[in-house]
Structures are given as structure tokens and as C-alpha cells.
């Protein structure tokens, strides 16, 4: 310990405290707990930067912003990687928020790829084949989401606006000549805008919509350098080490033959390189273009007695659509060595070839529609065959989602969320959000084109297939999902019935509740946190009800198609549920979908006006952690930038002097980033002593209870050496009472010492790093990181949990004191005590002459 104390007493600090924030994008000043004038930017940009605490006068001990002597305090701010911090341009912020809304199903669906059982080097042929099949199914589900987006755009632009409103004249609030009086008053313009040319013009909208998704995805990829490093000598060394490690790897994470490598997935350097989703994006674009061509050309086939060329275009588009689906399933997007010669070359050729052919078919369709000899569309009553494409797409999505129940083998389900059905839950929620968004956009469009009577007109059209109508599947699914949401709320309310009592668990952790005026408020915050902790069972219930709703709706619509009766029970007008006509229920649920559409628009508007990160932005941040592998239009992975940044900063600091130390202090989602950075640091540093000089301090984290159960191969018990977590029980007074039991659950990586003090498991070489985790009962997102109790017994050995520490729940650095929940861990004594303990004890500060903080 003497060398550490001597280092702290030196003129230059030898200890780096690097703070990393969570998803709510804490500002650098708040992260360092100092005024803005007392911090300075070391390096970085508006996306991600390192900031240094440089107070003019160090605050006294235990005061806000106090820096213990001998410590250099930095903060890493990465919030700009996922959304703008400044939001100076309202228009650009509006587009970004609208994109967040539209891409939310994509981001949730992408998570299914990472919640399945990831392959190991020791897998047998059958297990490896299973990994390949589930990876292909996950990509195929992402493909379905793109097609759902496309067919929704076709329904709105081509079916509703072009054919039913502009040409058919069924929309009371929409001019039948598209441009109204402007067309009639301009000589020659009416002759120019023939019905077929109006169709050609609006057929471009779906293709353009997906083209914008491709553009957004490409711009996002350009913001993230592969294995990003700053241009320094240490950074160049880290880059060389990462590239050398990647060059040695000859396996893919999807199950290709591989040389044995026992490191955890997060310790693979190439895990943080950009995935080859650019090719997958082109395949999705080709499929969207082919789907648009097929739907529009089929309309021409039906209208023309001897279609000829339109029929050729239709079948060519169908073939391209099938080939695109196959390509989406087989394209490698999780390769450890994306630079392997055979991979990217054939992937690029395949993707580009499909896109060229799809664009050629679409261009020929447009030429056919704009020629004077174009088919006559004056008698059209909507898009022919509009029912089948969305029905097939959503049915395929539902089948893939339900198959996720079997993606994880039985032997790997213990300790996972929803009994190993996490992929199914992710896909069901993704499909639900996608269908709801599509139905809401369609319902909102009918209000625009047909006035306030639009929802009732849609239901009437579903009964007669005349007048204003849309595919039945959107009405049926929208109605069923709306009912399922109401049932979900009713079930979730029952979670409140047992009053949450956490006194027993508080005593287990030796929590001393003070006789304080804030005692009542503290108890309320604890009970609220316990209720919020039930998000896992709540999500499972919602997903189950959504599965039932989607299944019933699809059965309803398929039955109508087989019986050639649109939505059985609606046309007759006599079918009732609980005494209410089914037609009236559909009108009501269609109106509710309209409200959902308005709410989505309000989310965008309020986000622009308030310029604050709302719940949508937080969900976006969490899903952004996972690399895009199944859905190319999901959010970009900020971790591909942040994780190498942090690993390099630690490597540079520690390599400059053999006596230097570092404490990586991470809050909430930042704990996942920090653990990932440690894995990368251990795999790439060329100084074997570097990892031994790092300590980890986490607080308000979800490593064990959420991420470890959702993605066990990434941050689960075997990777971090934690005790497997049991999920919360919603109808118990203490939801975590089962997790706090000392039972016989399997423990993959028990510590080698009786006292648990280090981050172990397969993530880091050797004995890992010292680790302390702070949590409290009032934290609605913070949990113990190693075990739900203070000690565990296995046979004759008792393991003491010295990692999880209880943090104070009242901030007394301000007057009057306040109860703290998920934030402000920096301001309680437990934080500084943990920091000094990780560095060797409080004498590190006491032995420094003068007691001033390091600048």
C-alpha cells in the first residue's frame, strides 16, 4: 500500500477516477458535481468527450464536488452519440425524434439477436447449427419489419391517397384531382396529371421512405469509427493490438468453424467493430422496392384483361422479394472477421445485384404508368389485392416471434428472463409496436382525407369493400391490440394490491432508518421503486396478451379470406361482444388508434419544444447499446464508439507510469459500458499489469437483475462471476424475496476466495479487478450487482458479499436534505468511502501534504 500512498503524495496525481454516466445523459458538470466554470474539456467533440474537474478551490471533505487528494477526476460524456445535447435546430431535432418513433420497432426487434443463446467455441455441430438457424430467423424478423413499414406506406400513399382519394373520389376532405383548383386553373396540367401518372408519382413515396431509412442508417454509421481511437501513440498501439487480435480470429459469432477461444464475447476486440449491415440495408431496400412494384403492378394486372408486361413485372418483383428474404437470412452480420475475403465480397455482390434488379423493375413500372398508352385507372376502387401482402407479412412476423420461445435450449434457460423466452418477448413487443404504429398512421390519414367520419367510414368499407377501405388486418389487429392493452392495464393494477413491505430486506443489509422528518417520504419512494422493479413480469404479461391478440386477429382475417367474407361478424352487423356490436367496437378502437397517432405526433412536438430527453429517448438509449445485426435500420450502437474510447483512456493513463491506478466509476447503463470497456482493455492492452491496476465502482446498475437475465452470454453470471438472479414476484410484498434466498441454484463461476471482492468470471484474465457496487432500496433502477443477500453458503464454505454496499438514501449536502433515488450517488458518504477503499484506504488522502486535490 505504501507505493500507492507515495504516488498520491507526488506532485502529479497517480490515480484516475473516471466517471461514466447512464442513459439520461447527465451533463459533464452534473457528473463532476461542479459548476460549469469549474470543468474543462480535455478532448472529444459534441458526440463524446472527456472532461476534467478543475475547481478553483477544492470544496471541503464530504461537500459537493470534493476531490480527495492525489486523485485526478475525469468524466466521459457520451450522450451526443445517441441524440443531440444542444438541439439548436428545431427542424433537425423534429426529424431525429420522428425517426426515433419510426425506428422503435426496429431497435426492439434487433435485440432478439442478442437475447438468443450465442454460440460457444465448444459447441457441437447440432448446437452450432441451432445458432445459425436462430441468427437467420432473427434477421428474417428484421426483414419482416422493413416490409411492414413498406406495405404501410403503400397503403397510405398508393391505396388511400392515390387510388381511393385522388382517382376514386371517395375522400370527402381530399381533392379528387390531387392538386385541386391549381390543376383546373393551369392549362395543360390536368391533361398531364392523368390517373396513371398520379399513381406513378405516389408510388415513389414508399420507395423514398425506405431510401430515407437507408440514408439515416448510413449517416449514423459514418458517425462511428470502427475501433475508434484518438490519434495518440497509445491510441495507435491500442488500434494495432485490436487489429492484431481481430486478424487472429477466424470464427464468426454465428457458429462458423473456429479455433478455440475461451474469452467472453465482450472481450473479443472485433465485437466492437462495425457490423456488415450496410449490405443488409441494401437487401432490405431491394425488398421494399420489389414489394412496391409487386403491389402496384398487380393492380394493373387485375384491371387489364390481357396484362402482358404488368404480369411480367409482377412475377419478377415476387421472385426478387423471395430472393431478398433468402439473402437477408444468410447474410453474415455478426462475423468476428468482417474483413474475411469471401464474406464481404459475395455479400456486396448479392446485395447490389438485388437492388439493381429491383430498381430496374420499379423504373420499368414507372415508365409504363407515365406513357400515353398507360392502363386506364378511372374505374379503380382501390388497390387490388391489398389484403394479402400485409396479412402475409404480419403472419410471418407472428410465427417468427412465437418461434423465439424455442430459440434458447432448455439447458441454458436457468436464470434467464421469462424462462428463456426473451427472443419471443422482444419480437412480440417489436411486432406490436410496429403494427400499432402502422394502424395509427393509417387511422390518422383517414381523418385527414375523409374528415372526422374517417374511422366509421373505414369500418363500413370493411363490411362492404366499397367506398373508403384499408386492409382488414390493420383494423382487426388495431382493435384486438387495443383491447389487449386495456386488459394489460387491468392485470398490472393487481400488482398494487399487496402493499410493498421491504423492512426484512432492509434489516438484512443493516440499513439503519433514522428518525428523520423525511422518513415517510423515504418509505413512499421505496414502495414506488419496488413497484417499478416489476417491469420484467409486467412486460411478460403484456407480451403474452399481445401474442393472444395478434393470434386472434390473424385468425379472424384469415377466416374472412377463406370464407370470402370481409371480417366475419362485421358485414352482418349483428355480431356482438358483451352486448356491443363488433362494428361499433372497431369504430371505437380505430378512434383509439387515431389518438395513438396524435400522441406519437405530440411526443415529437413536445420533444422539440421542451428539448428534454423523454421516456422515448431513454428507451432509445438502452436499445442503442446492442450492435445492429438483425435490423439495419435500428439505432446505431454508441458502444462501438464509447467502449473503445474508455478502454483507450485507461490504457493511456496506466501505461505512462507503472505506479498509476484508475477507478472506473459508472452509473446505471454506464456500468454496462464500463464492464464492456474492461473486457476490451484486458483483451487489447500490451502491458499485462494494466488490468491489475484498475478498480470498478458501479452504482444504480442493472447488470445482474436485468442485463444478466436478458443477455447472459454478454454480461451474465458466467461472464461476471455473479450469483444468478431470480426474477421479481409481482404479488409478493417484497418482489425480490425469492432472489434473496440462499438456495441451490446453479452458480457457474463461484469465487476462489470466501470473500467476494472482485469482478470475476470469463470477462477478464486472471483474478479480475476489485469491485464495489452501491445500491439502495429507494432506487427504482438500481440493484445489488453480485447477489441478493450479504452472504451465500455452498457446502462448508460461506461466501461473504463484500461487493454490494448499501448507499445512504438522504442527500445532506444541501439544505434542506432530500431523499435521493436513482441519481446523486456522488453526494452520499458511501461513494467516497468506496472510492478510497478501492484505492487502498482513507490514508491515501491523509498522507498527502496539504490535502489539496489534484488538478
- At 688 the pLDDT is 82
pLDDT tens-place string over residues 360-410: 999 999 999 988 878 878 777 788 888 899 999 999 999 999 999 999 988
Report the length, in residues, of the chain. 855
pLDDT at 696 over 50: yes
569: Cβ–Cβ under 8 A, 6 or more apart, which residues? 575, 582
342: Cβ–Cβ under 8 A, 6 or more apart, which residues? none
pLDDT tens-place string over residues 790-816: 998 887 888 899 999 999 999 988 888
- At 430 the pLDDT is 94
Strand partners, 695: 663
pLDDT at 119 over 50: yes
Instruction: Give me the sign of the Cα torsion angle 504, 505, 508, 513.
Output: negative
| Element housing 172 (H / E) | none
Band the pLDDT of 847: cuts 50, 70, 90: very low
> What DSSP string runs through 187-209?
TTHHHHS-HHHHHHHHHHHHHHH
- At 460 the pLDDT is 64
Buried b (16+ CB within 10 A) or exposed e, 804-826: bbbbbbbbebeeeebbbbbbbbb
Average pLDDT value for the chain: 81
For the chain, percent of residues with pLDDT exceeding 90: 37
Mean pLDDT of 766-787: 93
Largest CA distance in the chain: 96
- At 2 the pLDDT is 45
| Element housing 802 (H / E) | none
- At 624 the pLDDT is 79
- At 611 the pLDDT is 47
Lowest-pLDDT range, 286-295, 327-336, 360-369, 517-526? 327-336
- At 807 the pLDDT is 94
CA neighbor of 163 nearest in space, from 209, 205, 198: 198
Lowest-pLDDT range, 10-14, 39-43, 101-105, 546-550? 10-14
Q: How far is CA 595 from CA 223, 440, 648, in A?
A: 35, 8, 48
Query: What is the spatial distance between Cα 796 and Cα 611, in angstroms, rounded to a whole number?
Result: 57
Q: What is the Cα 237 distance to its own chain's centre?
A: 32
- At 344 the pLDDT is 56
Q: How far is CA 524 from CA 275, 499, 528, 780, 831, in A?
A: 45, 11, 6, 12, 24
- At 741 the pLDDT is 84
Q: Which residue has the higher pLDDT, 605 or 256?
A: 605
Statement: the pTM of the whole predicted model exceeds 0.85 = yes
Cell of 467: 367506398
454: Cβ–Cβ under 8 A, 6 or more apart, which residues? 443, 446, 447, 448, 468
- At 621 the pLDDT is 63
Mean pLDDT of 448-461: 72
Report cis status (omega within 30 of 0) of the bond before 57: no
Where does 25-124 have alpha helices with state H?
A: 28-32, 90-115
CA neighbor of 427 nearest in space, from 100, 138, 103, 133: 138
Query: What is the spatial distance between Cα 422 and Cα 420, in angstroms, rounded to a whole number?
Result: 6
Mean pLDDT is highest, among 89-98, 122-131, 484-493, for 484-493
Amino acid at each position: 500500500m505504501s507505493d500507492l500512498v507515495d504516488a498520491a503524495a507526488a506532485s502529479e496525481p497517480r490515480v484516475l477516477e473516471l466517471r461514466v454516466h447512464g442513459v439520461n445523459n447527465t451533463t459533464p458538470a452534473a457528473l463532476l458535481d461542479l459548476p460549469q466554470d469549474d470543468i474543462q474539456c480535455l478532448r472529444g467533440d459534441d458526440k463524446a468527450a472527456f472532461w476534467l474537474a478543475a475547481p478553483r478551490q477544492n470544496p471541503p471533505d464530504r461537500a459537493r464536488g470534493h476531490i480527495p487528494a492525489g486523485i485526478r477526476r475525469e468524466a466521459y460524456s457520451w450522450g451526443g452519440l445517441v441524440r443531440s445535447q444542444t438541439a439548436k435546430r428545431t427542424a433537425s431535432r423534429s426529424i431525429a425524434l420522428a425517426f426515433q418513433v419510426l425506428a422503435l420497432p426496429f431497435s426492439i426487434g434487433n435485440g432478439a439477436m442478442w437475447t438468443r443463446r450465442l454460440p460457444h467455441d465448444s459447441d457441437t455441430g447440432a448446437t452450432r447449427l441451432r445458432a445459425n438457424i436462430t441468427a437467420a430467423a432473427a434477421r428474417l424478423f428484421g426483414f419482416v419489419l422493413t416490409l411492414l413499414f413498406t406495405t404501410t406506406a403503400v397503403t397510405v400513399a398508393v391505396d388511400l391517397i392515390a387510388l381511393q382519394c385522388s382517382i376514386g373520389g371517395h375522400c370527402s376532405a381530399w381533392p379528387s384531382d390531387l392538386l385541386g383548383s391549381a390543376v383546373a386553373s393551369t392549362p395543360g396540367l390536368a391533361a398531364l396529371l392523368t390517373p396513371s401518372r398520379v399513381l406513378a408519382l405516389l408510388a415513389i413515396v414508399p420507395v423514398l421512405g425506405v431510401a430515407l431509412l437507408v440514408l439515416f442508417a448510413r449517416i449514423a454509421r459514418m458517425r462511428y469509427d470502427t475501433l475508434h481511437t484518438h490519434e495518440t501513440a497509445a491510441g495507435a498501439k491500442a488500434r494495432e493490438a485490436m487489429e492484431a487480435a481481430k486478424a487472429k480470429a477466424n470464427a464468426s459469432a454465428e457458429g462458423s468453424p473456429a479455433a478455440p477461444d475461451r474469452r467472453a464475447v465482450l472481450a473479443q476486440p472485433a465485437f466492437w467493430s462495425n457490423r456488415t449491415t450496410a449490405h443488409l440495408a441494401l437487401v432490405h431496400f431491394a425488398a421494399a422496392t420489389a414489394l412496391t412494384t409487386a403491389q402496384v403492378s398487380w393492380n394493373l394486372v387485375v384491371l387489364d384483361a390481357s396484362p402482358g408486361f404488368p404480369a411480367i413485372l409482377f412475377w419478377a418483383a415476387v421472385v426478387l422479394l423471395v430472393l431478398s428474404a433468402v439473402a437477408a437470412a444468410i447474410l453474415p452480420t455478426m462475423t468476428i472477421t468482417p474483413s474475411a475475403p469471401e464474406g464481404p465480397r459475395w455479400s456486396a455482390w448479392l446485395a447490389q445485384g438485388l437492388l439493381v434488379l429491383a430498381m430496374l423493375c420499379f423504373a420499368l413500372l414507372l415508365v409504363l404508368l407515365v406513357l400515353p398508352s398507360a392502363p386506364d385507372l378511372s374505374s379503380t376502387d382501390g388497390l387490388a389485392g391489398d389484403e394479402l401482402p400485409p396479412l402475409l407479412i404480419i403472419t410471418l412476423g407472428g410465427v417468427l416471434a412465437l418461434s423465439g420461445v424455442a430459440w434458447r435450449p432448455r439447458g441454458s434457460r436457468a436464470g434467464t428472463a421469462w424462462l428463456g423466452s426473451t427472443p419471443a418477448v422482444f419480437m412480440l413487443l417489436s411486432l406490436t409496436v410496429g403494427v400499432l404504429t402502422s394502424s395509427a398512421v393509417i387511422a390518422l390519414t383517414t381523418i385527414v382525407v375523409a374528415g372526422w367520419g374517417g374511422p366509421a367510414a373505414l369500418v363500413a368499407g370493411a363490411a362492404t369493400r366499397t367506398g373508403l377501405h384499408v386492409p382488414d388486418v390493420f383494423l382487426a389487429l388495431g382493435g384486438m391490440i387495443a383491447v389487449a392493452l386495456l386488459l394489460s392495464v387491468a392485470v398490472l393494477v393487481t400488482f398494487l394490491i399487496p402493499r410493498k413491505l421491504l423492512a426484512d430486506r432492509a434489516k438484512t443489509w443493516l440499513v439503519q432508518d433514522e428518525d428523520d422528518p423525511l422518513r415517510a417520504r423515504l418509505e413512499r419512494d421505496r414502495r414506488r421503486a419496488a413497484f417499478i422493479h416489476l417491469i420484467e413480469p409486467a412486460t411478460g404479461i403484456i407480451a403474452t396478451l399481445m401474442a393472444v391478440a395478434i393470434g386472434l386477429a390473424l385468425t379472424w382475417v384469415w377466416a374472412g379470406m377463406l370464407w370470402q367474407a370481409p371480417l366475419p361478424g362485421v358485414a352482418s352487423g349483428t355480431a356482438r361482444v358483451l352486448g356491443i356490436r363488433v362494428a361499433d367496437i372497431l369504430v371505437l378502437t380505430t378512434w383509439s388508434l387515431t389518438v395513438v397517432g396524435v400522441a406519437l405526433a405530440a411526443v415529437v412536438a413536445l420533444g422539440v419544444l421542451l428539448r428534454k430527453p423523454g421516456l422515448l429517448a431513454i428507451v432509445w438509449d438502452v436499445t442503442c447499446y446492442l450492435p445492429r445485426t438483425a435490423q439495419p435500420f435500428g439505432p446505431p450502437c454508441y458502444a462501438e464508439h464509447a467502449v473503445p474510447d474508455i478502454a483507450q483512456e485507461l490504457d493511456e493513463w496506466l501505461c505512462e507510469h507503472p505506479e498509476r491506478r484508475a477507478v472506473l466509476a459508472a452509473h446505471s447503463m454506464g456500468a454496462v459500458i464500463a464492464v464492456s470497456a474492461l473486457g476490451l482493455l484486458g483483451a487489447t492492452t500490451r502491458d499485462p499489469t494494466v488490468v491489475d491496476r484498475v478498480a470498478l465502482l458501479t452504482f444504480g446498475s442493472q447488470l445482474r437483475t436485468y442485463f444478466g437475465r436478458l443477455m447472459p452470454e454478454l454480461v451474465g453470471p458466467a461472464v461476471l462471476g455473479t450469483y444468478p438472479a431470480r426474477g421479481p414476484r409481482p404479488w409478493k410484498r417484497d418482489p425480490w424475496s425469492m432472489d434473496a434466498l440462499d438456495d441451490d441454484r446453479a452458480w457457474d463461476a463461484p469465487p476462489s476466495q470466501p470473500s467476494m471482492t472482485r469482478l470475476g468470471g470469463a470477462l477478464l484474465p486472471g483474478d479480475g479487478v476489485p469491485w464495489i457496487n452501491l445500491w439502495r432500496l429507494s432506487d427504482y433502477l438500481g440493484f445489488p450487482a453480485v447477489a441478493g443477500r450479504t452472504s451465500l453458503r455452498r457446502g462448508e464454505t460461506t461466501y461473504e458479499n463484500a461487493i454490494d454496499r448499501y448507499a445512504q438514501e438522504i442527500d445532506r449536502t444541501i439544505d434542506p436534505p432530500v431523499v435521493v433515488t436513482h441519481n446523486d450517488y456522488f453526494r452520499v458518504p458511501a461513494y467516497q468511502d468506496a472510492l478510497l477503499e478501492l484505492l487502498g484506504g482513507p490514508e491515501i488522502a491523509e498522507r498527502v501534504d496539504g490535502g489539496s486535490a489534484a488538478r
